[in-house]
Structure 1
């Protein structure tokens, strides 16, 4: 009737990020594999500690990131299913030099999954032992045969101890990420974080999921582009299985994996089994203002820059053939575009253009400093 539990767990290696003007050095675990990002591209450094043997391999070329301005008038498109602005599955976008970090996160998730199942089994065994002990006293077995009740008590104590141990192991089954900045880069990342906080306070944030051209003359409209957009949330939010000293900047994705900006990379995260990691050297980040024909309520933090009509002539004047033709404000929103060669394609609109510009410049300055 004795009960025992023994569980071997792996120590999940931590990730240490050293961020300076010379680039990013990423060390996984204790064996010293590191990634360096710089103006000449991304390199993987591997070696055997203490041996004096090291290898340096070029992974990808350096990339440039520049803002893009979008001058055309835009209006709302009727909702479609998924839209034509979306990314491929997140597990297809991982940068080659980020696979080690991804494998570490997967190992943490798998161990946590196994431990969760073990915890449920031990809890069930504990409930069974307690029931048997109660029944033994009801039927006087526990009073008469002291050995039976003692064995059940020993099993209960062992199961309670196992639950405590598994619970501790669950708390430690995550990838620990710590970040070390040099003084200059710390200031730039702090500026980026503050700019994101202001951006997250925007009255409206939309994920743009579709964009199609429109014949303005045929539609009698001032807008040359129609978009489908869905309001989303953004903020500071952690990912399961990652214990990070600095919580990532989070953007909800309406038709795909959410975006999490860490100091050294971007994670597209759909679930614990579906995610990808993108180095900033592979990310194309564009931003700019858009003129939006807003047929709905104008957000509180949005600037009205012009007026048009629901139905217009070729020259933009009011089409008087429509009796109930009404005036519509044209507002200035901010747009951010994110792309990679591996298939990431996301666009977001923000009601506060000034906050969009502030965040975008802070992000570009931060990434530029990593490559300088």
Structure 2
């Protein structure tokens, strides 16, 4: 895919422009703009790494492993038979929220991003005054020309001021994040975006929510573990809460959304944002055997079959009626973890896609941050 890369960002009537001299800002309307010098928050990438500059005017990897252990099992459409203690306690797999991650690693840019949306908006108050002025002008329209002019002009002025203030509030409460990349860095980041699109095109993709050890395998198709999973959404799109000049690869991981930006991984939880450096991430790639009760994705590899209820020899348990034969499928698995609290496990049906994505992120991580100039 072609990397979407812009040299300017609009925030209300303001336009931030990227040039060799840094970030410039201009303000106005189409056909009339006035430029000035203050820069927004941004990251630039120079030869050999990243350079981070910010103005705040408002205040591990591994190779693919093949696991040959007993497969896991997911039963989405039917409850387990009424048997005593066939599965151990389900252990939830969930990351820390952005609030927890941000508090564990303070960062001026993250503090700015989280502070801006909480700033009080002024335009609703001016809009209310403008509405009252318009109402007054309408009620006084029969009082003669002088009265109409006396009430109408202030009403129009207040309406214009309210509209301007709305756009000004939009810019005032926005964080501008620019990425300026040299060719090697741009190629590395494009590779991450391309590989994530391959993940998104996988026939089956899930997030593992919880897992539990099976205590009696005959009730769970012979599997060693039972998992709860949900469909996974991922793609390329705008960075929420930030005016950014890039379309960013993202993964919707339940309550958190992970944004793979050029310099670090941003974590968004609701209105809160945190960040984790790529050097802090541990990305582990493996394959896993999965007993599939749903439809097998078109690009998955079926490696065998089992029975929904099995006997000790691995054959069908004749005591159960409608004992279905189930396929055993090999899936790619990607674990993303950090010491600060990220803990995500994803599965994909397309073989090999997780390894190429992990390698692309590892290459991007080699662009080390440089000292602030």
TM-score scaled by structure 2? 0.76
Following superposition, the deviation at residue 243 of structure 1 comes to 1.3
Of residues 49, 53, 66 in structure 1, which corresponds to 2:62? Answer: 66
Q: Is the Cα–Cα contact under 8 Å of residues 123 and 163 in structure 2 kept in the other structure? A: no
Q: Is the Cα–Cα contact under 8 Å of residues 206 and 230 in structure 2 kept in the other structure? A: yes
Report the equivalent of 2:112: 104
- Residue 162 of structure 2: SS of its match in structure 1? helix
Of residues 127, 141, 144 in structure 1, which corresponds to 2:143? Answer: 141
Looking at structure 1, the residues matched to 99 and 56 of structure 2 have their Cα atoms a distance apart, in angstroms, of 26
Q: How does 1:165-314 map to 2 (within 5 A)?
A: 165-173=164-172, 174-215=174-215, 217=217, 219=219, 221-254=221-254, 256-272=255-271, 274-314=272-312
- Residue 353 of structure 1: SS of its match in structure 2? coil
Q: Which is helix-richer, 1 or 2? A: 1
Report the equivalent of 2:124: 120
Report the equivalent of 1:345: 343
Q: Is the Cα–Cα contact under 8 Å of residues 133 and 142 in structure 1 kept in the other structure? A: no
- In structure 2, the CA distance between the partners of 1:282 and 1:325, relative to structure 1 (3 Å rule), is same
Q: Is the Cα–Cα contact under 8 Å of residues 333 and 354 in structure 2 kept in the other structure? A: yes
Report the equivalent of 1:324: 322
1:84 aligns with 2:88: no
Looking at structure 2, the residues matched to 150 and 132 of structure 1 have their Cα atoms a distance apart, in angstroms, of 12
- Residue 302 of structure 2: SS of its match in structure 1? strand
Report the equivalent of 2:157: 158
Question: 1:125-171 CA deviation, whole Å, 9 max, x = no partner?
Answer: 2221111111112xx3244xx1x432322212321221232233144
- Residue 139 of structure 2: SS of its match in structure 1? helix
Following superposition, the deviation at residue 309 of structure 1 comes to 1.6
Looking at structure 1, the residues matched to 66 and 54 of structure 2 have their Cα atoms a distance apart, in angstroms, of 41
Following superposition, the deviation at residue 328 of structure 1 comes to 0.9
- Residue 94 of structure 1: SS of its match in structure 2? helix
Following superposition, the deviation at residue 19 of structure 1 comes to 5.6
Q: Is the Cα–Cα contact under 8 Å of residues 45 and 185 in structure 2 kept in the other structure? A: no
- Residue 221 of structure 2: SS of its match in structure 1? coil
Report the equivalent of 1:93: 101
Report the equivalent of 1:59: none
Larger mean CA deviation between 87-96 and 324-333 belongs to 87-96
Looking at structure 2, the residues matched to 250 and 239 of structure 1 have their Cα atoms a distance apart, in angstroms, of 8
Looking at structure 1, the residues matched to 366 and 284 of structure 2 have their Cα atoms a distance apart, in angstroms, of 14
- Residue 141 of structure 1: SS of its match in structure 2? coil
Looking at structure 1, the residues matched to 297 and 343 of structure 2 have their Cα atoms a distance apart, in angstroms, of 26
Question: 1:27-52 CA deviation, whole Å, 9 max, x = no partner?
Answer: 11289xxxxxxxxxxxxxxxxxxxxx
- Residue 149 of structure 1: SS of its match in structure 2? helix
Report the equivalent of 1:4: none
- In structure 2, the CA distance between the partners of 1:149 and 1:324, relative to structure 1 (3 Å rule), is closer
TM-score scaled by structure 1? 0.76
Report the equivalent of 1:364: 362
Q: How does 1:27-38 map to 2 (within 5 A)?
A: 27-29=53-55
Larger mean CA deviation between 214-223 and 170-179 belongs to 214-223
- In structure 2, the CA distance between the partners of 1:28 and 1:77, relative to structure 1 (3 Å rule), is farther
- In structure 2, the CA distance between the partners of 1:315 and 1:220, relative to structure 1 (3 Å rule), is farther
Looking at structure 2, the residues matched to 136 and 312 of structure 1 have their Cα atoms a distance apart, in angstroms, of 86
Question: 1:299-322 CA deviation, whole Å, 9 max, x = no partner?
Answer: 122221221222223343444454
Question: 1:65-115 CA deviation, whole Å, 9 max, x = no partner?
Answer: 324636231111569x9961012232111387661111221243234xx23
- Residue 65 of structure 1: SS of its match in structure 2? coil
- In structure 2, the CA distance between the partners of 1:176 and 1:94, relative to structure 1 (3 Å rule), is same
Looking at structure 2, the residues matched to 345 and 76 of structure 1 have their Cα atoms a distance apart, in angstroms, of 20
